[in-house]
Amino acid sequence: MKGATQMAIIGYMRVSTHQQKFDSQQKALELYGVDKIYKEYESGRKIARAELNKALASLKPGDTFVIFKLDRLARGTKQLLNLLEEFEKNNINFISIQNNIDTSTPMGRFFFTIMSAFAEMEADLIRERVLAGLDAAKLNGKQLGRPPRTKELEKALHLYHTSDLSVAKIAKICNVSTATIYNHLKKEGISRNKKTLESRKDKNINVT
């Protein structure tokens, strides 16, 4: 509860829609003895929340930030950890009533350390799963990276080499961009104007 030397106690509560009620959250915050409550109708997955930003901006070193439950503040470990790191850096106490978390106590600070460890482990597990998936794909013979030439592009290049059609016409027929055709021709060492020159020669036009 509010102590003699304690500064402001700021409460924050959130529901996802206007049809939901604040009743249980508001009662718990008022019983705790908050000085001011910020109310938010917004999804917890949204990081940028107007009322949350106002609540955070009002905090000063030594203040206490109170919520009813962790999921009212953040939906993900990373998002929650970022907020807790900001609180620690700015000497702001954090209280989650339903979860019995109070970072002004040794147990609360221990929770913060455990949260950091879990967040790091979560990131490592994600990296491991990605690498394992890539290895499995390679073993199954799947092509990684940029996909190989499509049938449309193969057809476009074939038409380029065997017909008198312009690149623009070929691109339209094969449903590929002219830039894609030119890029692949460049890789083959063929300049952009070679087809024009060859076409003119085939028509016995003197090219200087």
Q: Which residues contact 55 (CB under 8 A, 6 or more apart)?
A: 10, 12, 38, 65
With H, G, I as helix, E, B as strand and everything else as coil, classify residue 157: helix
The tokens describing 47, both together, are 């990081």
Angle between helices 106-139 and 77-89 (to 10 degrees): 140
Q: Which residues of 135-154 are buried (b: 16+ CB within 10 A; e: fewer)?
A: eeeeeeeeeeeeeeeeeebe
According to DSSP, the residues that pair with 11 across neighbouring strands are 37, 66
Among 37, 32, 76, residue whose Cα is nearest residue 55: 37
16 is catalytic: yes
**SS3 annotation, 28-66:** HHHHHCCCEEEEEECCCCCCCCHHHHHHHHHCCCCCEEE
Catalytic residue among 16, 104, 163, 177: 16
Q: Which residues contact 2 (CB under 8 A, 6 or more apart)?
A: 9, 33
The tokens describing 68, both together, are 């009813």
Active site residues: 16
